Amino acid sequence: MTAEEIIKMGPSKELDNLVTVIDLEDGFSPSTNMNDAWQLRGHFIDQFGGGFELVRYCDDFPEHCSWDNDGKKVLVWAKTGAEAITKVVALAVRDFYGDFHPWVLFPEMQSKFIEDLKRNTTLFN
């Protein structure tokens, strides 16, 4: 699976399966449940070290999550914190490092966001 395919995934059992060997029948869903995502984060840090940061911004992908460990860095923006944490882990365990903002991977998404912003606000008038 490529980094782009992971970034395009929405919160789902399929995304959860990328990061856990836990039997998902018990309801564990880190991509949709923040408590489960926080548990996943803790387990990941125990296994791989490093530090996590979760910050809220204001755009189409408001939740920014990053993991950094000895120069290895994964940056993800997503719709929810749980989704962002899960995608950081999914990318890091596959040795995908870098900036994975959808606008970096898919620049046409940024153009659409700016056009919608221009159409719906007076910010650019």
Domain parsing of the chain, residue ranges: 3-120
User: Tens of pLDDT along 44-81?
Assistant: 999 999 998 887 766 666 678 889 999 899 999 888 99
Structure tokens at 94: 């596959």
Sign of the Cα torsion 35, 41, 45, 51 reads: negative
Fold topology of 3-120: Bacillus phage protein (3.30.2120)
- The C-alpha angle with vertex 99 and arms to 96 and 105, in degrees rounded to 5, equals 90
User: Tens of pLDDT along 93-115?
Assistant: 999 998 887 767 666 766 776 67
**pTM for this prediction:** 0.78
